[in-house]
Structure 1
Amino acid sequence: MRNLLLSAALIAIPVGAFSAVYSMTATPAPQTVATATTPSLGDMAPFQTIVADMQSIVASDDLVAAEKRITDLETAWDEAQKTLRPINTAAWGNVDGAIDAALSALRAKATDPAEASRVLTILQTKLGDPSGGDVALGAIRQIAGADVTDASGRPLPCELMHTTFKAARASANLSGADGATADTFQSKGLERCNADDDARADEFFAQGIALMRK
């Protein structure tokens, strides 16, 4: 779910040589379980309406129309992210993961109607109960001291990581090789973010942030 534009060509500097310098650690998060008192994400009806529409379209075997319709869901969910995610990160992640699965299924080169129907059913269930029942929290993963996952273990949205990267880049006084390396991390991160690969994009952005903080 990305609308990022890669405005600059990748800088031809090997990233692998720098990646090994940075450590990957995990900060234990409280092993708690979400309860009925966990805040709700609020009214999911607008999203449920779109999914119900897609389910009907898939049932009619019009997979091209279903692929177009899911773009409406993608746009609406992305626009609501800043509001919904802080309310309940784990529940938001449950729905976001189900939406990602639906996007992959409906945008596959050869869409399988049965698989599309299956993932849409799961997505509708998640929208009806975003917490998915009890949600066990895992560990916040870090790279070089920068969080790259939330407490539920899901990668942070790469757009947020890119925002953090840009803020660090603006205040960092880098030049020469360090500046070129930071720009390479940014380019690589944007490339993976544009490909819907949050986990890999976050790694590149975190390594660039670490470079600028040293």
Structure 2
Amino acid sequence: MNATFRNFALSATLIAVPAAGFALAEMMISPAAQTTAATQSPGLGDLSAYKTIVADTQTIAATGDLKAAEHRITDLETLWDQNASALRQADRAAWNTVDAAADEAFSALRAGTPDQATVDAALAALSTTLDAPVPAAASSPIQYVSGIAVTDESGRAIPCEDLIGQLRSAIGNTTPPATVADLQSKALERCNADDDAHADAFSVQALALLNG
């Protein structure tokens, strides 16, 4: 997930935290084995509902109606966010892998001018990841700001809900200073927009101010 000026400067390092990409892989397996792989993840459990949405989105995208495909993928985003807390607790590493692949698909479909090939590749990668959400290999050291982890082993920003949870715990039942309350509000706004990096920056600033 010090002095005020140094805290603000450190938070800027979070802005460019990239989402990891995932390669497309296809495997020929028997129908029975495919059904099992497509619906069950040892850590995340039954992922069939997400697979159905992705398959629907692929079918729509194949017609060239990328606006309608973007509308359908939003159902995945809503369902994924609703279950995010439980899924992260079940298997944080696998959750991060699927979340990153989903972000790639969202970005591809929500680009100013979506590219068919990019959309197709992102959706195929997401489908493959849901089949086997193997955690991504560590790509960089965990980054810390004011002693708080702001990236995981894959280099992705820590889920904003985690740092906002830490901030809420730190505030407790007290009335926070106006500066902290403002930062908390900004963190919540960016988190609701699925902007983990910026949300984490605001949360870390607020936590640093509370911790002195």
Give TM-score, length-normalised by structure 2: 0.73
Q: Partner of 2:89 in structure 1? A: 86
Structure 2, unpaired ranges of 5+: 14-40
Provide the rounded CA distance (Å) in 2 between the counterparts of 1:59 and 1:169.
49
The 10-residue stretch of structure 1 (160-169 or 66-75) with the greater mean CA deviation from structure 2: 160-169
Classify 1:65/1:126 alpha carbon distance in 2 versus 1 (closer, same or farther; 3 Å): same
Q: Partner of 1:146 in structure 2? A: 148
CA contact (8 A) 2:109 2:119 kept: yes
CA contact (8 A) 1:57 1:65 kept: yes
Q: Shift of residue 163 of structure 1? A: 2.7
User: Does the alignment pair 1:19 with 2:17?
Assistant: no
Q: Partner of 2:20 in structure 1? A: none
Letter in 2 for 1:144: S
CA contact (8 A) 2:138 2:155 kept: no
CA contact (8 A) 1:39 1:87 kept: no
Map Cα deviations across residues 166-198 of structure 1 (whole Å, 9 max, x no partner).
332345565xxxx23223322442343344321
State the identity as a percent: 46
Q: Partner of 2:120 in structure 1? A: 117
Q: Partner of 1:166 in structure 2? A: 168
CA contact (8 A) 2:138 2:153 kept: no
Instruction: Summarize the alignment of residues 1-214 of structure 1 with structure 2, pairs less than 5 Å apart.
Output: 19-20=8-9, 39-131=42-134, 135-136=137-138, 138-171=140-173, 179-214=177-212
Give TM-score, length-normalised by structure 1: 0.73
Structure 1, unpaired ranges of 5+: 1-14, 25-37
Q: Shift of residue 82 of structure 1? A: 1.5
Q: Shift of residue 208 of structure 1? A: 0.7
4+ aligned runs moved over 6 Å, structure 1: none
Provide the rounded CA distance (Å) in 1 between the counterparts of 2:175 and 2:59.
55
CA contact (8 A) 1:55 1:117 kept: yes
CA contact (8 A) 1:189 1:202 kept: yes
Count of matched residue positions in the alignment of Structure 1 and Structure 2: 181
CA contact (8 A) 1:90 1:152 kept: no
Structure ranking higher in helix proportion? 2
Instruction: Please give the root-mean-square deviation of Cα atoms over the aligned residues, in Å.
Output: 2.7
The 10-residue stretch of structure 1 (180-189 or 50-59) with the greater mean CA deviation from structure 2: 180-189
Q: Shift of residue 158 of structure 1? A: 1.2
Q: Shift of residue 74 of structure 1? A: 0.4
Provide the rounded CA distance (Å) in 2 between the counterparts of 1:103 and 1:145.
32
Provide the rounded CA distance (Å) in 2 between the counterparts of 1:147 and 1:47.
29
